[in-house]
Amino acid sequence: MAILSVHGLDVTMGVQAILHGVTLEVAEQAVVSVIGSNGVGKTTLMRAISGIYRCAAGTITFRGAPIANLPSHRIVHLGLTQAPEGRMIFSNMTVRENLVLGAGTLPAAEFAGQLAYVLSLFPALADRLRQKAGSLSGGEQQMLCIGRALMPKPKLLLLDEPSLGLAPLIVKLIFDLIQRIRAEGTAILLVEQNAKAALKIADYGYVMEGGRIILQGPGAELAADDRVMSAYLGGG
C-alpha cells in the first residue's frame, strides 16, 4: 500500500519547465531515496509535494487524498511534513520555541508526550532547550530541523539533504536515526546527493536527471547498478 503516489508531475518556474512527468511512490513505513546531482530538481520535487511550489500537471495522492496544490498547512495537517534543505530553523528563537512552532495544531494534551519522544531521539537537544537555535552546531541544527518536522506526528517525513555539510560521524548518526524513525512508524522520502548512504538505507530508490526519473529500483539493486556506480558512487 502506497502512502504517497506522485504521478506525471510537472513543475514550471516562469517559462522554464523544471520537473517533467515525475512519477514515484512511497510505501507505508518505507524509506524511499531520491538521488541526483546538483540542480536536477530534487528540492523542487519536495517543495511541490509539500504545497510550496505549484504543480502545473499531474497528481499527488497522500493517504488516498489528492493533495496537489493544497496549501502547505493543510498538507501538514494531513500528516506530511518536511525538514527542508538548508534547515531553515529560526536562529533567534530558542530550541524549544522552534519545536513548539513545529507542533502547529498538535492537540495540547499530546504536546508533552511528543516533545519527550523527539528529545529521546535527539538527546543533545534536551540539554539545549533554552538556547538560541542559532548557537547550535551544524549537526544539532539538523537534528532540530528534523525534530521540528516530527513534532506534529507525521505519517510521512520528507528529508531534503539532511547530511549536507556535516562531519561523517554526525552523518552516520542522522542516518541511524532515520532508520529508527521509520521503525517507529513514519515513512520517509529522502533526497540526497550522498547517494551511497541514501541507497544503503532505502527500501526503494529513484535517480533523477534533468527533472526526470531516469532509473529506479530497490536500494541495494540501484547501489549495485553500473550506471549509478559510475555517475554517483565514484566507482565504475
Ligand X SMILES: Nc1ncnc2c1ncn2[C@@H]1O[C@H](COP(=O)(O)OP(=O)(O)OP(=O)(O)O)[C@@H](O)[C@H]1O
Give the interface with ligand X as residue ranges (CB under 6 A).
Answer: 13, 18, 36, 38-44, 85, 193
From Mg ion, ligand X, none, which one binds at residue 41 (CB under 5 to 8 Å depending on kind)? ligand X
From ligand X, Mg ion, none, which one binds at residue 40 (CB under 5 to 8 Å depending on kind)? ligand X
State the Cα–Cα distance between residues 145 and 102, nearest whole angstrom: 9
Segment (H or E) for 21: strand 16-27
Q: Is 41 helix (H, G, I), strand (E, B) or coil?
A: coil
Shortest Å, Cβ 152 to Mg ion: 23
Neighbours of 181 (CB within 10 A): 20
Nearest residue (CB) to Mg ion, 42 versus 182? 42
From ligand X, Mg ion, none, which one binds at residue 114 (CB under 5 to 8 Å depending on kind)? none
Tell me which residue of 19, 34, 78, 6 sits closest to 195, measured CA to CA.
Answer: 34
Shortest Å, Cβ 161 to ligand X: 6
Footprint of Mg ion on 42-61 (CB under 5 A) = 42-43
3-state secondary structure string across 42-57: HHHHHHHHCCCCCCCE
Q: Is 85 in the site for Mg ion (CB under 5 A)?
A: yes
Shortest Å, Cβ 14 to ligand X: 7
Stated length of the chain = 236
State the Cα–Cα distance between residues 147 and 153, nearest whole angstrom: 10
Nearest residue (CB) to ligand X, 17 versus 116? 17
Contact 213, 9 (CB under 8 A): no
Shortest Å, Cβ 48 to ligand X: 9
Shortest Å, Cβ 45 to ligand X: 7
State the Cα–Cα distance between residues 15 and 196, nearest whole angstrom: 34
Nearest residue (CB) to ligand X, 13 versus 167? 13
Judged by CB under 5 A, the stretch of 36-44, 120-128, 143-151, 194-202 that binds Mg ion is 36-44
Nearest residue (CB) to ligand X, 20 versus 155? 20
Shortest Å, Cβ 24 to Mg ion: 16
State the Cα–Cα distance between residues 42 and 160, nearest whole angstrom: 8
210 contacts: CB under 8 Å, gap ≥ 6: 20, 40, 41
Q: Provide the grid cell at 232.
A: 554517483
Which residue's Cβ lies closest to Mg ion?
A: 43
Interacting residues with Mg ion (CB under 5 A): 42-43, 85
